[in-house]
Structure 1
């Protein structure tokens, strides 16, 4: 178990959930790992489309279509909020992801702060796991109450349209979880289908993968030379 948090940040206060018996590789992650780490690494930081493209090129990857600009749209950037720039909230069977930006740009145009959040339900069917979006992607200024007396400004309405178009592609209505490809010496054991994706109300998430042949529940640990299930626990 590893910890990495600022003095004013909270951490897990309960034990992690148990790994599924059919998994050979499992990870238990508490929501505070993502929330605290994002504040340490992203708070106040500006990320541009050009920077993301450069990082992907260095890794022989391509920018996902959902993050590219349309031919008639200029490049984008986001400056993350200083507090809770990215936050995950887990509850039984679902989770909510929030992105907080203090400033956005589209070409030479600058826009004010906006919070973006989306909720997903976890579904399992036919030995496969998928995420199903719960409603639309929500985009509003910090503290704004939808349906209240306060109305969005012209600038906020313009930014909201831009972000809805982009993040509607990023956060798809249905996300099918693909099998996990393993690196290096473990590659021959994969790809591993996901067996467990569990979100708990105390903030823990349990993720586990099974062997292609479910009759065998073990994979070789190339370091120790032992055939044992591999488990990782993370909390911040």
Structure 2
């Protein structure tokens, strides 16, 4: 079994003010407990798993006041407190370690349950239903990184003819992808699927959290429309030197009560640039709507071509700007993943992101201390 492993490391210092009672004696003290916890997680093609957390704590206490009804009792209490202080600190340290272990196990369990649910329902099960799970999905870990290698290729599909080009530097996140992955995953996910205007609007608004272009908003005064993707090469990307040509292919298109049943490719060429804050794709020329089995178009085809050009110009925007990937949940305060490298050529794209802290430093809400994630062998 190939799996990667990494540790969630928790360190912290807990300070306390304590009041204890023993018969007629009242004891006032302060405590300082250093906390060190470690929780190991594993990831493979089935998702996340774990091993029990381990923690060690060390408590140091300082008794600064003992009050009693008479001086003799107070003197005896001070003596006994000094004799029992070491044992009390060991007990407090042990209890703190058990609490830390329990909290780490509980929080990691919730994290894994949510992550595995999303992975299973949104990625693994849909691919499995279409008999399109990756041919290979391998995870490996080294002291400074976790690596995932995916090969999506059926017996009749093409794959990358060469190893990926190396990134220019070591980044927090690096992606090396061949254009064949776009085609092969596209066939697995979109091949033969019908996409309606309502579903497209929902994907942009709800899944991508984007603003729906006016042309793609579903209203009563617009004809409903749909596209049924081809089974082979429903989407493609061609990575040239500093460019990417994006295309989708459909075998059936509808508009209102009209339909057209022949393969059409809709594409756009973009120039890729890295900016100070991220990346920018600039469309080169117009959106191209091509009837793959026709050289001459009749009136029905011209009408559909005009309609599709208008719709897909809203998707293939003249300029696509990205200023980073915002993290979600409690990690949002950590900042954004900002592109440091975006290079294309010979069918490959290499992307590198580094985590850039926000302008105003924030503190991630971890009640028991600081949390970090470390890759381990």
Compared CA separation, residues 81 and 174, structure 1 to 2 (3 A): same
> Which structure's residues are more often helix, by fraction?
2
Given the alignment of the two structures, is residue 188 of structure 1 paired with residue 333 of structure 2, yes or no? yes
Q: Residue 53 of structure 1 contacts residue 62 of structure 1 at CA under 8 Å; is this kept in 2?
A: no
| 1:149-200 residue CA offsets vs partner (Å, 9 max, x unmatched) | x421111100011111111111111111131111345433221221111112
Residue from 260, 285, 300 that aligns with 1:135: 285
Match of 1:204? 348
The separation in 1 between residues aligned to 2:258 and 2:211, in whole angstroms, is 22
Q: Residue 69 of structure 1 contacts residue 76 of structure 1 at CA under 8 Å; is this kept in 2?
A: no
Structure 1: 4+ residue segments shifted above 4 A: 53-63
Match of 2:316? 171
Q: Residue 180 of structure 1 contacts residue 192 of structure 1 at CA under 8 Å; is this kept in 2?
A: yes
Residue from 162, 168, 171 that aligns with 1:14: 162
Structure 1, unmatched stretches of 5+, are: 145-149, 214-221, 229-236
Q: Residue 78 of structure 1 contacts residue 101 of structure 1 at CA under 8 Å; is this kept in 2?
A: yes
Compared CA separation, residues 224 and 15, structure 1 to 2 (3 A): farther
TM-score of the superposed pair, with normalisation by structure 2: 0.51
How far is the alpha carbon of 1:54 from its aligned partner?
Answer: 5.1
Match of 1:111? 260
| Bigger mean CA offset, 78-87 vs 67-76 | 67-76
The separation in 1 between residues aligned to 2:179 and 2:307, in whole angstroms, is 29
Greater relative contact order: 1 or 2 (C-alpha under 8 angstroms, separation 6 or more)? 1
RMSD between superposed Cα atoms in Å: 2.7
How far is the alpha carbon of 1:102 from its aligned partner?
Answer: 0.6
| Bigger mean CA offset, 158-167 vs 112-121 | 112-121
| 1:190-234 residue CA offsets vs partner (Å, 9 max, x unmatched) | 212211111121x21111212326xxxxxxxx9983279xxxxxx
How far is the alpha carbon of 1:80 from its aligned partner?
Answer: 0.7
> Which structure's residues are more often strand, by fraction?
2
Instruction: Give the SS at the match of 2:325.
Output: coil
How far is the alpha carbon of 1:64 from its aligned partner?
Answer: 1.6
| 1:98-132 residue CA offsets vs partner (Å, 9 max, x unmatched) | 11111111121112332101111112344542101
Compared CA separation, residues 103 and 223, structure 1 to 2 (3 A): farther
Match of 1:155? 300
The separation in 2 between residues aligned to 1:3 and 1:182, in whole angstroms, is 27
Larger radius of gyration: 2
The separation in 2 between residues aligned to 1:16 and 1:35, in whole angstroms, is 17
Match of 2:181? 33
Instruction: Give the SS at the match of 2:326.
Output: coil
TM-score of the superposed pair, with normalisation by structure 1: 0.79
The separation in 2 between residues aligned to 1:223 and 1:95, in whole angstroms, is 39
| 1:4-24 residue CA offsets vs partner (Å, 9 max, x unmatched) | 221110111212222242632
Number of equivalenced pairs: 214
Compared CA separation, residues 172 and 54, structure 1 to 2 (3 A): closer
After the TM superposition, which residues 65-80 of structure 1 pair with which residues of structure 2 at under 5 Å, given as runs? 65=213, 66-69=215-218, 72-80=221-229
